[in-house]
Structure 1
Amino acid sequence: MNPEYLLTAFIVCVVPGLGVIYTLSSTLGGGMRAGLWAALGCTIATVMHMLVAMAGLAALLHASAVLFQVVKFAGVAYLLWMAWGALQGSGGLQFGAGRPMPAGRLVWRGIMLNLLNPKLPIFFMAFLPQFLPAGAGLGALVELGLGFTGMTFAVFAIYAGLAASGRDALLASERAMRWMRRIFAASFAMLGLKLAVSRA
C-alpha cells in the first residue's frame, strides 16, 4: 500500500475529532477496555461511511439538501445529548465509581456518534480517489478502505492507552474529574455546533 496514503490517513486520524473525544472520555470513564470498545464502535461507523462512499450514495447525500439536513440535525441532537451526559457524569461518562457500561452500549454509541455525521461519506468520496492508480478497480478501492480502517482503530487505541495511563491520577482528584467532565461536555457541544453550521 502507498506509504504516502498511510501517512495521510494517519494525519487525518490523529487530528482530535469526535471519535478521539469519545474514545478518551470512555477510557477515563471505564478504563482501557472501555476505550477499546469505544474505538471499535467509531471504527465500525467509519467502515459504514466508507461503504456508502464506495457505493456512490455520498453523491446522493450531497445532492439532496433535505436528506443532508435530516441526518445532520439528528447528529447535532445526539452530540448535545452526549454533552449533557458528560456534564452530568452520566451514561458512559461516569468517571470512577459505578458499574462499567456494557461493551455493546459503548460500541453502539461510538457507531451512532459517527454515523450521524453526513460529512464523512462525502469526505471519503473526495479523499480516496486521490490515491487510486490509473485504471484501478474495486479491489484497489477496498484495499485503501481497509488501510484507513486499520489506521483508524490503531490511532484510537493509542489515544485510549494514553488516557488509561493517566486515569488513576485523574480519578484521585475530584477537582480534576469535575474539569474533565466540563471539557468533554464543551467538546461534544462544540462539535455539535460545528456540525450544525456545516454545509453539504
Structure 2
Amino acid sequence: MPLDPQLFLAFLVAAWVLILTPGPDMLFVIGQTLAGGASRGWAALLGIGTGALVHIALAASGVAALVAASPALFEALRLAGACYLLWLAFGALRAAWRGGATLRPAAPARAAFRDGFITNLTNPKVILFFLAFLPQFVDPARAPAWLQMLLLGPLVPLMGVPAYGLLIAGANRAAARLSTFSRWLDGLAGLIFLALGLRLLVGGRPG
C-alpha cells in the first residue's frame, strides 16, 4: 500500500476540518449561487475543483515549489487573481445598479466554471496550501512522495462535494425566495467578490 494507514486517517480528519472551515472558495460558491442559481454554484465548484487538481499536479511535480520560491511570479499571480475577482465584482455590482431582470437565465454555467477555475488557479495561496498541507501526510518509505501527493490531493475537492452541495442548496433556496429582489442578490454577490478580491490584493505573501 503506497499510503501509511495512520497518516491517511489523519489526512481525512484534517481534510474535513479544512473543508468545513469557511473560506474564500465557500464564499465564492455562495456568491455564484446567489447570482445565478444552483447550476452556477455547481459549475463554480467544479471550476474550483479543477483548478485545485492543477495545483496538486504542480505540487507533486515540484513546479509549485519553484513558483512559491519566485517572488515576482508569486506577486504576478496574486495581482492577476485579485484583478479578476474585482472584475467579477464590478460586473455584479453594475447589474445590481442597473436593476431589471434577474441574471439567472443570462449567465451560463460555463462562465461560472471558468470564473471558479481562473480564481483558484491564480490564487498563489492555494499553491502554498498544497505545498504545506500534503507533505505532512507523506511517508517517503512507502512510495515516491509525488505519487502519494497525487493520491491524497484529489480527495480534498472530492470530499468537499457533499458539504458544498448542502451549501449550494441552501443558497439557492434563499435566492429563489428573494427572486423579486434580484438586484439585491446581484449586489450581495458583487460585495462577496469585492471582499475576496481585496483580501487577495492586500493580503500579500503569507509570512
Please indicate, yes or no, whether the TM-score normalized by the shorter chain is above 0.5: yes
CA contact (8 A) 1:19 1:156 kept: no
User: By how many angstroms is 1:49 displaced?
Assistant: 1.1
Gapped regions of structure 1 (runs ≥ 5) = none
- 1:10 maps to 2:16: yes
Q: Distance in 2 between matches of 1:125 and 1:32?
A: 32
Tell me how far 1:196 sits from its aligned partner.
2.0
Which residue of the other structure, out of 42, 56, 59, is the alignment partner of 1:53? 59
3-state SS, counterpart of residue 166 of structure 1: helix
Identify the range of structure 1 (75-84 vs 163-172) with the bigger mean alpha-carbon deviation: 163-172
Whether contact under 8 Å (2:89, 2:189) holds in the other structure is yes
Mind listing any 5+ residue stretches in structure 2 that lack a counterpart?
Answer: none
Q: Deviations over 1:156-199 (max 9, x none)?
A: 22211121222221213x2xx45444433333222222222321
For residue 76 of structure 1, give the secondary structure of its aligned residue in structure 2.
Answer: helix
Is contact 2:175–2:185 with CA below 8 Å preserved after alignment?
Answer: no
The worse-fitting range, judged by mean Cα deviation, of 136-145 and 55-64 is 136-145
1:134-177 deviations in Å (ceiling 9; x for gaps): 513243322211211212333322211121222221213x2xx4
Aligned to 2:171: 163
Match of 1:153 in 2: 161
Counterpart pick for 1:19 among 25, 35, 49:
25
Aligned counterparts of 2:158 and 2:27: Cα–Cα separation in 1: 19
- Give the alignment of 1:101-112 within 5 angstroms: 101-112=107-118
Q: For the residues of structure 1 that align with 2:37 and 2:117, how far apart are their CA atoms?
A: 19
TM-score, structure 1 length as denominator? 0.84
Equivalent pair of 1:95/1:171 in contact (CA under 8 Å):
no
> Which residues in structure 2 correspond to 1:85-164 (within 5 Å)?
85-89=91-95, 96=102, 99-137=105-143, 138-164=146-172
Q: Percent identity?
A: 32
4+ residue segments displaced more than 6 Å: none
**1:123–1:39 CA distance, 2 compared to 1 (3 A):** same
Once the two structures are TM-superposed, the CA of residue 57 in structure 1 deviates from its matched residue by: 1.6
Q: 1:164 to 1:139 in 2, by over 3 A?
A: same
Residue 79 of structure 2 is aligned to residue 79 of structure 1: no
Preserved contact between residue 39 and residue 157 of structure 1 (Cα < 8 Å): no
How large is the Cα RMSD of the aligned pairs?
2.4
Aligned partners of 2:51 and 2:123: how far apart in 1?
10
